[in-house]
Every structure is written in C-alpha cells, then in structure tokens.
Amino acid sequence: MKSKSLLVFVVLSLLVVFSNGAFALTEDMSIVLTTQSPYPVEPGQVVSIEVSLQNNGYGEAQNIILEIMPKSPFTLLPGEEKIKTFSRIPARDHVTASYKLYVDKNAISNNYEIEFSSYQTGSDVQKTDKILVQVQGRPKFVVERIETYPANIEPGDTVTLNATIKNVGTGSASSMETVLVSNTTYIVPVLSGGLYYLGTINAGETKEASFQMSIDNAAEYTTYPSVVILSYNDESGTPASDSFYIGIPVRGKPIIDILSAKIDGSDFKVDIENIGTANAKALKILLVQGGKTTDSAIANELRPTKSKTIRFTSFDYGQATVNISYLDESNQFFSAEYPVNIIQASAASNQSGENGLSPLLPVLIVVVVLESYYVWRLRKKSKK
C-alpha cells in the first residue's frame, strides 16, 4: 500500500513539473543585466549591454521570445534585432542576449530603465522585466582663449591674465579651482592672484578665470612656459584634474634716446642709449641737414640700459636732425627724430661765457688781490 502511494506521488510530481514547463513559463522567466560597457555610459555614446534570460522553473521552456522595448534616451542601433527567439531553455538555466544602443547626447546623468518582454510563441501571456543602465556625463575642458592686460607685456609690468575655459564634455564639474603656475622666477603671482575659484561648470558652459602676475624687471625677451591647473569633482563626486600648458610672452619695447650731441675734435659726436626694456637691432642713424642726409651710421644691436657713441665726419654747422630707426625682436619698426644744433667749439665756449662767468674772471681776481696788497704795503711804510 505504501509503495503504491509513493508511486502516485512521483507521478503527480512529474505531472506538476511537466505542467510548469509547458504552461507556466512566463511566470518562471526573469531578466537580469549581466554586463554594461562602458559603465557608466556617456550621453552621445553607444552602450553594449548583455542580459540573461533565466528559467527559474523546474521544467524546460520552449520557443521563448524575448523583445527589447527601448525608449528615450536609448535607441537600438540599425541592424540590431529587437526580437530574439530561443527554442529551449533548460530548467534552472539561462540564455544570454546582447544589444547595442545609442544614448541621446542630451541625456541627463541618471539610471535609466530598459524594458523587456518575454513570452512563449502563440501565447498571449507576457511577462515584463526592467533593467537599469547607468548614464553619467563626464566633464571635459578646453582653454578657448588667453588674454593679457596689457596686451604687450614688458619687464616690470603687473599683468592680468584671463583664461576662458569651456566644458565641452557631457557632464558637469563642481568645486572647480584654477591655479596658474609659472616655471620661472621672473613671473610670480600678486598675493593670491595665482588662484581663482570657478565653482560649477555645466556641460557646454564657459567661464573665465582671472590671474594677477608681476613681471620681474630682469625678465628677458622670450615666452615663459606656464601651466593652468584645473581641480574639480565630477558628477559622481570623484576628484579629478586637468592641466593646460600656455606661454606668457614678455616682449618689452626698445626706446632709443640721445644722451648728448657735441663737437669732439673734427667729429660731431652723438651718444645714444636704449632706455627701453627690450633689445633694439638693425639701428640706422642719419644726420639730416637742409632736407638731405649728410652722414649716416649703423649698429647691429643695442641692449636695454646700454649706450653707444656715433661719430659723424660729414656735417655743416647749424641746425640738424638726428633720425634713428630700429627694429625690436619681433621685427616691429620704430623711428624717432631729434633736433640738434651743431656749434663750433670756440663759439660754444664764447656762448658759455656770455651766459655764465667770463673765462678772464680768475685773472682779474688775481690782479685785484695783488694791487690791494701793494697799496696796503705803501700805506704801512708811510705811517713809519
């Protein structure tokens, strides 16, 4: 009797298993996300996902259809199958399905649901499952423009440097700080002028960082390398940083002036000096009288604070103009004219006497002193 009851129980169990495998398949199926690449995916990118269709029942599932139903911000790529059919899924087993989807470039960072439907061929009973795909934008920065005030930087200047920074990425950045670091002692920040706080920059947004710098008086004509460092948190709160190398050109400006101009022997001597902050090169010095050039001289280079003597041998006495032209290191042309009066040495001496003390004055003083002494001696003798 007991063996008969056991046989009935086994038969009934088999019937239940068979019934589950043949008629209750939709209740036993479930969808699980197994892989997402990349993870997270950025807006505007393609994401590859793999899902597992699991048969949680005790019977074999046959002719199972799996349908993906993507909605914004996801779009199934062309050529991808929306519906996949599986002829059999063993009990307590699973099959996998892969899909490639495009993520809308305007998608906001979030976890988005993708819906799947599974059902047996010919059955009206469907089961719906959802998976989550993480979309997270990533900030990316470029330095669009660098401007300095003044535009032409000279040694000794205090300079404002403005850096225009744009977020061309797909996510925002928060708590952003910018730092300007110079690789030379000739350029140093003014107080806290090397640090600028920008805060939050959203995707597509542009902000401007401003720095204050001091240029050493000994700075040379060159472009000094510097670095703009961005420190921020991405949308997940993870600290990140970017560095951008920039060049700060220190140009200066040559200024040629005349120290003195006078007759020296048979020459007309002109002393010139570079009172500017940059080298002057290819100097050409002309002596012009009566609208014509009477003499000329050239010099290869004149550095700041340096002087040079120019001698003219062909000239006439009277009014003249010294014309000086030269180039800076960037080959910018400069020119200046200085009026001078060429006076003969004796005339210059006479002119000096007329305007000041006579050159015979010392002799007259000696004569007066001697004569006074002579008169004093005569008076002394007469008293005796």
Asked, as a colleague might, if the bond just before 139 is cis with ω within 30 of 0, I would say no
Count CA atoms closer than 13 A to 150's CA, side-chain side. Answer: 12
**What is d(CA 255, CA 240) in angstroms, rounded to the nearest whole number?**
48
Q: What is the pLDDT of residue 137?
A: 95
- Under the banding of pLDDT at 50, 70 and 90, the label for residue 304 is confident
Asked whether residue 148 carries a pLDDT value surpassing 70, the answer given is: yes
* Chosen domain end from 250, 278, 308: 250
Residue 363 lies in a domain: no
Contact between 155 and 213 under an 8 Å Cβ cutoff? The reply is: no
Q: What is the pLDDT of residue 5?
A: 56
CATH number reported for the structural domain that contains residue 232 in this entry: 2.60.40.10
Q: What is the pLDDT of residue 357?
A: 46
Residue 35 lies in a domain: yes
Asked whether residue 113 carries a pLDDT value surpassing 70, the answer given is: yes
Q: What is the pLDDT of residue 375?
A: 52
CB-neighbour burial class of residue 221 (10 A; exposed 0-12, middle 13-18, buried 19+): buried
| Same domain, residue pair 105 and 180 | no
Mean pLDDT value across residues 23-52: 89
Q: Give 281-336 as a DSSP string.
A: EEEEEEEEETTEEEEEEEEEEE-TT-EEEEEE-S--SEEEEEEEEEE-TT--EEEE
Q: What is the pLDDT of residue 135?
A: 96
- Under the banding of pLDDT at 50, 70 and 90, the label for residue 356 is very low
Assigned token pair, 56: 């949680």
Residue 179 lies in a domain: yes
Question: Maximum distance among all alpha carbons in the chain?
Answer: 188
Mean pLDDT value across residues 71-97: 96
Residue 319 lies in a domain: yes
Domain limits for position 129: 25-135
Assigned token pair, 62: 């046959």
More confident residue, 304 or 175: 175
Q: What is the pLDDT of residue 274?
A: 93
Assigned token pair, 245: 């190398």
| Same domain, residue pair 131 and 146 | no
Residue 20 lies in a domain: no
Q: What is the pLDDT of residue 22?
A: 47
Alpha-carbon distances, residue 56 vs 14, 29, 281 (angstroms)? 17, 6, 88
The rounded Cα 162 to chain-centroid distance in angstroms is 9
- Under the banding of pLDDT at 50, 70 and 90, the label for residue 165 is very high
- Under the banding of pLDDT at 50, 70 and 90, the label for residue 359 is low
| Same domain, residue pair 152 and 89 | no
Assigned token pair, 71: 């909605």
Residue 374 lies in a domain: no
| Same domain, residue pair 261 and 237 | no
| Same domain, residue pair 186 and 234 | yes
| Same domain, residue pair 337 and 315 | yes
More confident residue, 266 or 354: 266
The answer to which of 22-36, 168-182, 188-202, 343-357 has the lowest mean pLDDT is 343-357
pLDDT in tens, 190-219: 988 899 999 999 999 999 999 999 999 888
Q: What is the pLDDT of residue 220?
A: 81
Q: Residue 291: which region, alpha, beta or left (left: phi > 0; alpha: psi -120 to 50)?
A: left
| Same domain, residue pair 40 and 126 | yes
CATH number reported for the structural domain that contains residue 260 in this entry: 2.60.40.1220
pLDDT in tens, 320-341: 999 999 998 889 899 999 999 9
Asked whether residue 374 carries a pLDDT value surpassing 80, the answer given is: no
Residue 158 lies in a domain: yes
Contact between 234 and 240 under an 8 Å Cβ cutoff? The reply is: yes
**What is d(CA 290, CA 317) in angstroms, rounded to the nearest whole number?**
11
**What is d(CA 274, CA 259) in angstroms, rounded to the nearest whole number?**
10
Secondary element (H or E) of residue 13:
helix 2-23
Assigned token pair, 115: 């819906």
Mean pLDDT value across residues 252-263: 91
Q: Residue for token digits 């920065």?
A: 141
| Same domain, residue pair 202 and 166 | yes
Residue 10 lies in a domain: no
Number of domains in the chain: 3
Q: Residue for token digits 């205090």?
A: 158
Secondary element (H or E) of residue 101:
strand 94-103
* Chosen domain end from 135, 163, 181: 135
| Same domain, residue pair 145 and 242 | yes
In this prediction, what percent of the chain has a pLDDT beyond 90?
Answer: 70
Residue type, 175: S
- Under the banding of pLDDT at 50, 70 and 90, the label for residue 183 is confident
**What is d(CA 351, CA 255) in angstroms, rounded to the nearest whole number?**
32
Q: Residue for token digits 């041998």?
A: 313
Q: What is the pLDDT of residue 353?
A: 47
Assigned token pair, 124: 């009206």
Contact between 129 and 31 under an 8 Å Cβ cutoff? The reply is: yes
| Same domain, residue pair 66 and 106 | yes
| Same domain, residue pair 227 and 278 | no
Q: What is the pLDDT of residue 11?
A: 47
CA-based nearest residue to 106, from 141, 72, 77: 72
| Same domain, residue pair 32 and 129 | yes
> Is the whole model's pTM more than 0.75, yes or no?
no
- Averaged pLDDT of the chain: 86
* Chosen domain end from 135, 157, 184: 135
Alpha-carbon distances, residue 10 vs 3, 4, 56 (angstroms)? 11, 10, 21
3-state secondary structure of 122: coil
Asked, as a colleague might, if the bond just before 304 is cis with ω within 30 of 0, I would say no
